[in-house]
Amino acid sequence: MFSKLSYRTQRIIIIVSFLIVPLTLLATFSFLPVANMFWYSVTDWNGYSDKEFVGLENYITVFTDPEYFRVFGVSLYYFFATFVQMAIALYFATILSFRVRFKNFFKGVIFFPYLLNGVAIGFMFLFFFRPDGALDTVLQMVGLGDFAMHWLGNPDIINISLAGTSIWRYMGFNFIIFLGAISSISGEIYEAAEIDGANRWQQFRYIIMPSIRIIISLNLVLAISGALSAFEIPYIMTGGANGSATFVIQTVDTAFKYGKIGLASAMAVILLFIVIIVTVLQKRFFSEED
């Protein structure tokens, strides 16, 4: 009977047969939870009792209650660290795309932190930042002992310390993406530029930057999204103490520590819309057609 069907009908049946399982899984474990999250966000629910519809009250609480709104300020540390991270990654990717001695060794050194487990990195930097730890010891050795402080105990400096750890943790990812994009540029372009007398800075400005503009925008979106959803490093190292709670840590604590599932869902929806807005702005200002 199947052989009597037209080729177009057979093709549609085969495509649907292959897609039905992954689409069912996608709808069950992605679309349905997101839909439920939107519903929970407009209710007052503790996870086990009856849900009470409260409209936009949870959203108003997030933006007006200082306890919840201040975590946006913490995210700014990771937001600015994103640009530092990308600048350093682009710098090293550009340098190592040219002829440099031991460049394969340096590539491995820069990318290696990204391969490490986040929990291990958190514990490593706990020892690094603790009083009389590795950082204080180095400062003492170079005569800068007066600058030693409680890196994770001082609310004024703790988020800078954690953001610096995140830079070291994730820079390797941006580095390897930039390096791959730069390596795809034809060597003949560099040769022609050298014949015309272009130095390394001019090659970077007029050849490399325009050629990898789309990759930069992609990394920018990923980095900003990661900054807004920072969780692993601050949660492991401080648990959100001393004013280091990020938006995601606050969301998790609100849901599972304080039992405010509805309010936590509203925070998750806000984070989702922020990421969508960032992506739309990226497509607007860094479109491939440009």
Task: Looking at the chain, list the stretches that DSSP marks H as alpha helix, in order from N- to C-terminal side.
Answer: 7-26, 32-40, 57-64, 66-69, 71-95, 103-115, 118-129, 134-141, 158-183, 187-195, 200-203, 209-211, 213-228, 232-237, 247-252, 261-285
What does the alpha-carbon distance between residue 161 and residue 159 come to, in Å, rounded to a whole number? 5
pLDDT band at 3 (very low <50, low <70, confident <90, very high): low
pLDDT tens digits along 181-238: 888 888 788 888 888 787 888 888 888 888 888 888 888 877 777 787 888 888 888 8
For residue 206, give every residue at least 6 positions away whose Cβ sits within 8 Å of its Cβ, in sequence order, or none. 193, 198
Indicate whether 128 and 94 sit together in one domain.
yes
Residue 289 has pLDDT above 70, yes or no: no
The yes-or-no verdict on residue 288 having pLDDT over 80 is: no
Element (H, E) at 53: strand 52-53
Q: Which two tokens stand for residue 93?
A: 């990717």
Task: Considering only CA atoms, give the Rg of the chain.
Answer: 24
Answer yes or no: is 37 within a domain. yes
* Residue 183: predicted pLDDT: 86
Q: Which residue has the higher pLDDT, 41 or 5?
A: 41
Q: How far apart are CA 281 and CA 286, in angstroms?
A: 8
Amino acid at the residue 43? T
Q: Is 64 exposed, middle or buried (0-12, 13-18, 19+ CB in 10 A)?
A: exposed
**Neighbouring-strand partners of residue 53:** 43
Cα–Cα distance for residue pair 59/171, rounded to 1 Å? 34
Share of the chain above pLDDT 90, in %: 8
The CATH number of the domain where 180 resides is what?
Answer: 1.10.3720.10
Terminal Cα distance for the chain, rounded: 52
Look at the block and give the residue holding tokens 């540029």.
Answer: 185
Is residue 6 domain-shared with residue 66, that is, in the same domain? Answer: no
pLDDT of residue 88: 92
Shortest CA distance to 59 belongs to which of 79, 73, 43? 43
Query: Of 77, 87, 90, whose CA–CA distance to 208 is shortest?
Result: 90
Which residues lie across from 43 on neighbouring strands? 53
Range of the domain at 227: 56-286
**Residue 176 maps to a domain:** yes
Residues 254 and 125 in one domain: yes
- pLDDT (0 to 100) of residue 92: 92
Residues 168 and 25 in one domain: no
pLDDT averaged over every residue in the chain: 84
Higher pLDDT residue, 44 or 99?
Answer: 44
Residue 50: inside a domain, yes or no? Answer: no
The pLDDT assigned to 223 comes to 78
23 and 68 in a single domain? The answer is no
Sign of CA pseudo-dihedral 43, 40, 249, 157? negative
Question: Is this structure's pTM higher than 0.75?
Answer: yes
Domain identity same for 62 and 157: yes
> Is the model more confident about 99 or about 266?
266
pLDDT of residue 102: 83
Tokens 């290696």 appear where? Answer: 112
Residues 40-58: pLDDT tens digits?
Answer: 999 988 878 888 888 889 9
**Same domain? 26 vs 112:** no
20 belongs to a structural domain: yes
Q: Does 85 have pLDDT greater than 80?
A: yes
pLDDT grade for 89, boundaries at 50, 70 and 90: very high
Q: Say what the pLDDT of residue 286 is.
A: 60
The residue type of 79 is F
7-21: average pLDDT: 80
Co-location of 158 and 232 in the same domain: yes
